[in-house]
Protein backbone atom coordinates (compact mmCIF):
# COMPACT_ATOMS: atom_id res chain seq x y z
CA UNK A 1 0.00 0.00 0.00
CA UNK A 2 1.51 3.28 -1.05
CA UNK A 3 0.82 6.77 0.07
CA UNK A 4 -0.10 9.55 -2.24
CA UNK A 5 1.16 13.05 -1.95
CA UNK A 6 2.22 14.13 1.54
CA UNK A 7 2.23 17.83 2.32
CA UNK A 8 3.61 19.24 5.57
CA UNK A 9 2.27 22.65 6.53
CA UNK A 10 3.47 24.92 9.31
CA UNK A 11 4.63 28.46 9.91
CA UNK A 12 7.99 28.94 8.22
CA UNK A 13 9.66 29.29 11.64
CA UNK A 14 8.51 25.75 12.48
CA UNK A 15 9.56 24.18 9.18
CA UNK A 16 11.01 20.74 9.86
CA UNK A 17 14.19 19.37 8.35
CA UNK A 18 12.68 18.11 5.11
CA UNK A 19 15.49 15.57 4.67
CA UNK A 20 13.66 13.60 7.36
CA UNK A 21 10.52 13.45 5.20
CA UNK A 22 11.65 11.84 1.96
CA UNK A 23 9.26 12.72 -0.85
CA UNK A 24 7.06 15.05 1.19
CA UNK A 25 6.38 18.62 0.18
CA UNK A 26 6.41 21.66 2.48
CA UNK A 27 4.25 24.76 2.43
CA UNK A 28 3.36 27.47 4.89
CA UNK A 29 -0.03 27.94 3.20
CA UNK A 30 -2.67 25.80 4.91
CA UNK A 31 -5.31 26.45 2.27
CA UNK A 32 -3.13 25.06 -0.53
CA UNK A 33 -2.13 22.10 1.64
CA UNK A 34 -5.77 21.22 2.34
CA UNK A 35 -6.91 21.52 -1.26
CA UNK A 36 -8.43 18.14 -2.21
CA UNK A 37 -6.87 16.36 0.79
CA UNK A 38 -8.05 12.81 1.54
CA UNK A 39 -6.65 12.73 5.08
CA UNK A 40 -5.64 15.56 7.38
CA UNK A 41 -3.46 14.85 10.40
CA UNK A 42 -2.99 17.79 12.71
CA UNK A 43 -0.56 17.90 15.61
CA UNK A 44 -0.26 20.14 18.62
CA UNK A 45 2.54 22.64 18.83
CA UNK A 46 4.93 21.22 21.39
CA UNK A 47 6.18 24.35 23.13
CA UNK A 48 8.09 22.23 25.62
CA UNK A 49 10.35 21.00 22.80
CA UNK A 50 11.26 24.46 21.61
CA UNK A 51 14.63 25.87 22.60
CA UNK A 52 12.94 29.16 23.36
CA UNK A 53 9.24 29.05 24.21
CA UNK A 54 8.96 32.71 23.21
CA UNK A 55 9.24 31.59 19.58
CA UNK A 56 5.72 30.14 19.87
CA UNK A 57 3.19 32.25 18.03
CA UNK A 58 0.32 33.74 19.98
CA UNK A 59 -2.31 30.97 20.24
CA UNK A 60 -5.10 33.02 18.72
CA UNK A 61 -2.86 34.06 15.81
CA UNK A 62 -1.77 30.45 15.30
CA UNK A 63 -5.40 29.31 15.22
CA UNK A 64 -6.35 32.11 12.82
CA UNK A 65 -3.48 31.28 10.45
CA UNK A 66 -3.14 27.49 10.85
CA UNK A 67 -6.06 26.08 12.84
CA UNK A 68 -8.11 23.33 11.24
CA UNK A 69 -11.58 24.89 11.07
CA UNK A 70 -14.84 23.76 9.52
CA UNK A 71 -14.40 26.41 6.81
CA UNK A 72 -10.93 25.12 5.96
CA UNK A 73 -12.18 21.55 5.99
CA UNK A 74 -14.45 22.45 3.07
CA UNK A 75 -11.30 22.74 0.92
CA UNK A 76 -10.67 19.01 1.35
CA UNK A 77 -12.37 16.13 -0.42
CA UNK A 78 -15.96 15.54 0.63
CA UNK A 79 -15.08 12.30 2.44
CA UNK A 80 -11.92 13.60 4.14
CA UNK A 81 -10.72 11.89 7.32
CA UNK A 82 -9.42 14.05 10.19
CA UNK A 83 -6.84 12.60 12.57
CA UNK A 84 -4.99 13.87 15.65
CA UNK A 85 -2.90 11.67 17.96
CA UNK A 86 -3.72 13.75 21.05
CA UNK A 87 -3.54 15.48 23.31
CA UNK A 88 -5.46 18.22 21.53
CA UNK A 89 -5.35 21.92 22.19
CA UNK A 90 -8.85 22.75 21.05
CA UNK A 91 -9.05 26.22 19.62
CA UNK A 92 -5.32 26.25 18.85
CA UNK A 93 -4.66 23.58 16.21
CA UNK A 94 -8.21 22.31 15.75
CA UNK A 95 -11.73 23.65 16.10
CA UNK A 96 -14.16 21.77 18.38
CA UNK A 97 -16.63 21.21 15.55
CA UNK A 98 -13.90 19.55 13.47
CA UNK A 99 -12.47 17.46 16.33
CA UNK A 100 -15.93 16.16 17.18
CA UNK A 101 -17.37 16.22 13.67
CA UNK A 102 -18.44 13.59 11.18
CA UNK A 103 -15.02 13.45 9.47
CA UNK A 104 -13.09 12.90 12.69
CA UNK A 105 -11.63 9.48 13.53
CA UNK A 106 -9.68 10.91 16.46
CA UNK A 107 -11.42 8.87 19.18
CA UNK A 108 -10.84 5.63 17.27
CA UNK A 109 -7.25 6.64 16.52
CA UNK A 110 -6.45 7.31 20.18
CA UNK A 111 -8.23 4.13 21.34
CA UNK A 112 -6.36 2.00 18.81
CA UNK A 113 -3.09 3.71 19.70
CA UNK A 114 -3.45 2.66 23.32
CA UNK A 115 -4.15 -0.98 22.38
CA UNK A 116 -1.25 -0.97 19.92
CA UNK A 117 1.21 0.35 22.50
CA UNK A 118 -0.02 -2.21 25.04
CA UNK A 119 0.53 -5.02 22.53
CA UNK A 120 4.03 -3.81 21.68
CA UNK A 121 4.98 -3.55 25.36
CA UNK A 122 3.64 -7.07 25.95
CA UNK A 123 5.76 -8.44 23.09
CA UNK A 124 8.85 -6.65 24.40
CA UNK A 125 8.25 -7.95 27.93
CA UNK A 126 7.83 -11.55 26.69
CA UNK A 127 11.10 -11.26 24.79
CA UNK A 128 13.01 -10.63 28.02
CA UNK A 129 12.58 -14.23 29.23
Domains of the chain: 7-126 (3.40.50.1370)
Residue 39: its pLDDT value, please? 97
Percent of the chain with pLDDT over 70: 91
Does 26 score more than 90 pLDDT? yes
Alpha helices in 6-105 (DSSP H): 30-34, 59-66, 70-73, 96-99
Tens of pLDDT along 104-114? 999 999 999 99
Q: Are 45 and 84 in contact (CB under 8 A)?
A: no
- Position 53 confidence tier, pLDDT thresholds 50, 70, 90: low
Tens of pLDDT along 74-88? 999 999 999 999 899
Amino acid sequence: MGTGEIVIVSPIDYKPDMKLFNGAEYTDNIESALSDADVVVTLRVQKERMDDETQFLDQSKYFKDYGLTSDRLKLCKKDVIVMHPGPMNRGVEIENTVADGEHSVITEQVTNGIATRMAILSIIERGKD
